[in-house]
């Protein structure tokens, strides 16, 4: 999007995201730029989750994949699949999530993180015993960061799905099973 056609607010938003850890405007932030105030605030939440949270990276990336699959968001799936694998999410777990299956086996804290996200996506809450296990494994801050992650990526998926943002910019595209 050429900066010459942007409003001053949009130009400021592009400058803000470009100056941060992402370094550029891409993916969900392109359609979000239509509301620069929302874009700036949302990208700050995302920057915290991805670059500032103490949540284990594998747990964070698995949560993002769960949301991408649940919301049929190919861009987020394609962007975060390699990050999840690099963070240590086992390939078979990624394959199960891609196919819409509950992973057959996972080590902690991935198993608890997966269960939390699955519950909040389905029920908007988690059972008491899962809450207690999450506090033991992730701490209060980690649990809240994980739930915020699910909500944040749900928001991005809704924006991208509404505006038709797709995975065409990815090289190579990573397929997400729709069966």
Q: Residues 15, 65: one domain?
A: no
Residues 117 and 96 in one domain: yes
Question: Looking at the predicted structure, is the pLDDT value of residue 28 above 90?
Answer: no
**pLDDT exceeds 90 at position 142:** yes
21 shares its domain with 65 = no
User: 124 near 155, Cβ under 8 Å?
Assistant: no
> Quick one: pLDDT at residue 123?
93
Give yes or no: residues 70 and 45 share one domain.
no
Report if residue 99 sits inside a domain: yes
Cα–Cα dist 59/111, whole Å? 9
Check whether residue 63 and residue 149 sit in a common domain.
Answer: yes
How many CB atoms lie under 10 A from the CB of residue 55? 24
The answer to whether residues 108 and 130 belong to one domain is yes
Sign of dihedral through CA atoms 59, 60, 63, 69?
negative
72: left (phi over 0), alpha (psi -120 to 50) or beta: left
Total domains present in the chain: 2
pLDDT greater at residue 9 or residue 116:
116
Supply the pTM of this predicted model: 0.87
Q: Is the pLDDT of residue 30 over 50?
A: yes
Whether 111 is covered by a domain: the verdict is yes
Per-residue model confidence (pLDDT) at position 167 = 61
Kindly state whether residue 123 falls inside one of the protein's structural domains.
yes
pLDDT at 173: 32
Q: Quick check: 169 pLDDT over 90?
A: no
Give the structural domain span for 12: 3-51
Band of residue 133 on the pLDDT scale cut at 50, 70, 90: very high
Read off the tokens for 23: 């370094």
Q: What is the pLDDT of residue 164?
A: 85
Within-domain flag for 166: no
Residues 24 and 45 in one domain: yes
Alpha carbons 44 and 35: distance in angstroms, whole number: 14
Q: What is the average pLDDT score of the chain?
A: 88
């Amino acid at each position: 999007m050429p900066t010459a056609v942007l409003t001053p607010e949009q130009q400021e938003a592009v400058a803000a995201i470009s100056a941060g850890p992402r370094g550029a405007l891409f993916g969900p932030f392109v359609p979000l730029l239509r509301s620069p105030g929302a874009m700036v605030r949302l990208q700050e939440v995302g920057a915290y989750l991805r670059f500032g949270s103490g949540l284990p990276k594998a747990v964070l990336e698995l949560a993002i994949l769960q949301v991408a699959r649940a919301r049929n968001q190919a861009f987020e799936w394609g962007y975060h699949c390699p990050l999840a694998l690099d963070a240590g999410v086992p390939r078979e777990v990624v394959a199960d999530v891609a196919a819409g299956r509950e992973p057959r086996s996972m080590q902690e804290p991935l198993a608890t993180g997966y269960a939390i996200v699955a519950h909040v996506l389905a029920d908007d809450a988690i059972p008491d015993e899962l809450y207690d296990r999450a506090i033991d494994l992730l701490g209060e801050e980690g649990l809240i960061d994980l739930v915020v992650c699910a909500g944040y990526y749900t928001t991005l998926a809704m924006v991208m799905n509404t505006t038709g943002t797709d995975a065409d910019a990815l090289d190579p595209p990573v397929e997400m099973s729709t069966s």
